[in-house]
Structure 1
Amino acid sequence: MTSEFQEPSSSSSSSNTHQWTHDIFLSFRGTDTRNNFTGHLYNALHKKGINTFIDDELRRGEEISPALLKAIEGSRISILILSKNYASSSWCLDELLKILECKKTKEQMVLPVFFKVDPSDVEHQTKCFGKAFDELGDKVKDDVKMLRWKDALIDVSNLTGGWIFSKGNESELIQEIVQRVSLVVNRTYLNVAKYPVGIEPRVHEVNSLLSIGRNDIRMVGILGINGIGKTTIAKAIYNSIAYQFDGSCFLANIGETSKQESGLVHLQETLLSEILRDTRISQVGNVNRGINVIKQRLCSKRILLILDGVDKLVQLETLAGNLNWFGIGSRIIITTREKALLANHEVNLIYPVRDMDHNEALQLFSLNAFKTEKPPENYAILTERAIRYARGLPLVLTDLGSELYGRSIVQWKSALDKYEAERKRKRKVRKKSSKKIFYKNSK
């Protein structure tokens, strides 16, 4: 068997709140694979308790049925079995269009299996795959529809997260697919944000630093002030990629937890139990022993570890002291306000979180303040005032919008006056304090 797993592109976190009716939707060409590969894959998924939709009906007519469209919309993952005659079926190609639409609008995961066809033949419609597509074109005689299908085939050929199978043991590939989707289906997602405005492009930028497809070990820092959205971005990344690793762990509020009695030891124990999926992990006893246990147990595992809210170097030294603590392919993400801390730990891949631009800030604030993406006309000026006060910080935009929700214009003005006055007062206090420090140091 020659199969290859390709890491998927990032997606935002909204998929974790969608109510799916099926775990898997199987799209396939019945004459090619129904009674062999696809049939065996369906049985393996079913035995694993994974709710899988497979179309068992004979297809009549040219229009895809409403029931099938509904099944695609309600599926968390679509698996495309791209075989040599897949493109000879208008049904399959219409399924593909719907699946790619749901990927965009519902954050559905799409996993292609290039079954005895090359991805380049799918992309360029060449060889036997292209011949089947051309023959369909002669039948449908619809240039617009053919162009839409062609674009969809190009898109699917460039998707990551799937497998290439040319020959060998099909059961091994089926087992690998079942294992992978089981991790997705059975995984608990982190709650990211009620309104995930602006998260996806920032996740994409961090993922470019992570380069998950590369066979190395990386630490990446997410850097920014309080309220800028570091934790939110890290959670969204965790939701989108955690299933690709042997084990994963999101350690939240590390700075606060480490202040507690035996806080660092507790964090070490949590890290081990979550990555090893073993709640029976015995107490490590002390920090030094915990370091040795982490190195011994995780040095051969490909893990995802997110260290959130780090504010002291000792926290990194205790939980992820060196790249060689973890197996090849591991990724460690650190969120912090302290750039010097990352430098001291030799973290060279750093993503400084940028402020929200005006459009993002307007949308996020409006969703919290009005439950719509734009403010009512009579609140437009006050909304701009609130956005200026928030200075592009998602946390401030969210909290302020939520507080002002349902209030009158008079109440808005009063609240904004109070917040702006308090900010000016604090600024004056800081200036006085800095002057005192300057005069003291100059003596």
Structure 2
Amino acid sequence: MATDAKRASQHHNVFINFRGAELRHNFVAHLESALKMDGFNAFVDQYDLRGGDLIHLPFKRIEESRIALTIFSTKYAESSWCLDELVKIRERVEEGTLVLIPIFYKLNPYDVKRLEGDFGSKLWNHVKHTSEFDKLKKWKEALDFISQKTALVLTENSDENEFIIRITKEVKRVIRNLEEQLDPGFYGSEKLKQVDSESDANPEEVDESVGGEASMYSKSRSEDDMFLGEENSDAIPNLENSFDSKHGKAKQNSIIATYETYAAPHHVFINFQRKDVGFSFVSHLVCALVRKEVSVLVDKDEKRGEEDVDNLFKKIEDAKIALVVFSTSYSESTCCLNELVKIKECMDEGKLKVIPIFYKVERSHVQQLNGDFGCKLWNFWRLHRDHNIIKWVEALESVASLGDMLELSSTEDRLESMFVTSIVEHVSEALSKIPLQEGYSLETTKFHEGREVKSIYLNKLPLYGIEQRVEQLEQILEFDCDETRIVGVAGMPGIGKTTLAMWLYENWNCKFVRCVPLLGIRKKSEEHGLVWLRTTLLKVLLGGEIPNINDKTTNESIKKELLQTKVFIILDDVTDKKQIEFLLGDFKWIKKGSKIVITARDKSLLEGLADDTYLVPQLDNNEAFQLLSYHPLMVKTLVLRGHY
């Protein structure tokens, strides 16, 4: 009986064979955590360099295990330890004392079978470098043996968490088969070999799934396929379904997946760069949060229409907490940056708790927009010239500077699964402090009242008379002339000064290497001060060419760099002459041929500074009638009251 109990417990020992430096802190850490959560003893080698007794430790663990997971990855063949372990695994599988589940992690199985591609090159280079020619024959035999087995394949755009769920399901199924067949003469018999025998066929095809799901690698799928089950019917079809029974139900529209738990009153919105962390880190984070009964809102698509954007922003408004995951390519995504602007807006209104997460990026690089993170932002800006650049910079600096943040450094020796656990604990603690009453305001920076400028290309209403006014302004600015022109645009509030300036920006920014639409100066000077405005203006103008621009940097101190090319600048909603003088200085840094547009309500602010001032005319009778005709209810009201 004691022997049987020992054998039964050994069923739960799973050895994981993998290339340590590549996977240990990420995928393998999450896999180990999932296996342990399901009651398995996962043996993971923690040492890259072994000496003394450590040399024999992995082989001892293999002998104590009943299942081996061999994870082939791009750099797998660079490790003698991985290959030696593989030889040992093969021996025990052939003895009938071990069941093997091969896993191909973002690697084509054919490259392993035929020793081709990057995998094959790394093996040959490794042997040449180490001169381990005596081991090469056994390594090749082991690789060929393993490649005959039916395997699980994670493709490049597959969801890692979903894939790990599939692996654990397969491990459970194998363990169940072992336990059902357990008897005193089981081990070393042909019965254990039967559990693994179905994976011995020579694979002739790779079945790659549609839509980024993981795939199976096998010669065939049949009802008798003991290893895979009923033609992969047990495979988890997608991340949403994997949550349905245990943790709640996932709902989604065209772009947003809402992972809801049945008891969770709170929502957490996650802002992240899909290609960086969407299929890996965020996938694991979502699962961990839902497991703790936290409802999660995730944007699943970066290609969306205007209605989708409105719906997404409404979801952000409904959330209680926003997790902003800054990663390497975050600043190359318009969607991420626009979401961040909305998140900051809700935070400033006191409606949203924001927790920045720095995933293998330096916090200072996000705050100061330098390093690789800043470089990618400025390159992205030069390519697309999005008018929201100032809002992006403002939001990045603001959110990255929050004190309540979490960070995983690229050089930090910490398991990613542990980092996910710390985030979940942090979120749970934050949610516990948020009352459920409607209208509760979080203690964050208060929102300063001020007019928000709506960009002209998001405005669905027709703009009557705009073409004529733009042409008049273009003539005054003399874009075809190589002379510097500083032109003011003045008029009463709401008459269209900002719209005209932004129309000009859209038409002419492509003609200038350096351009900046600095909108809402009145509001931003109240919130941040003139020094911040000038620093931001110079940062965007130079686009990261000078990495150390700070509060002490002035136009004159970097005059040499600024004079290298013409500039096109919009200074919008100026309310004080000092604002213009502080931002533009003595004008000596402005290269000949530059164009500067300044909008202001008060024409007198522009006297002595602008070469010319354009007074925006009111709508004439025909234009006014066209506008009113667009709003028939307004026309009807005016006629009934005798005002028209």
Shared fold (TM-score, shorter chain, > 0.5):
no
> Which structure is higher in helix share?
1
Q: Tell me the TM-score normalised to structure 2 length.
A: 0.29
Structure number with the bigger relative contact order (C-alpha 8 A, sep ≥ 6) is 1
Q: Tell me the TM-score normalised to structure 1 length.
A: 0.41
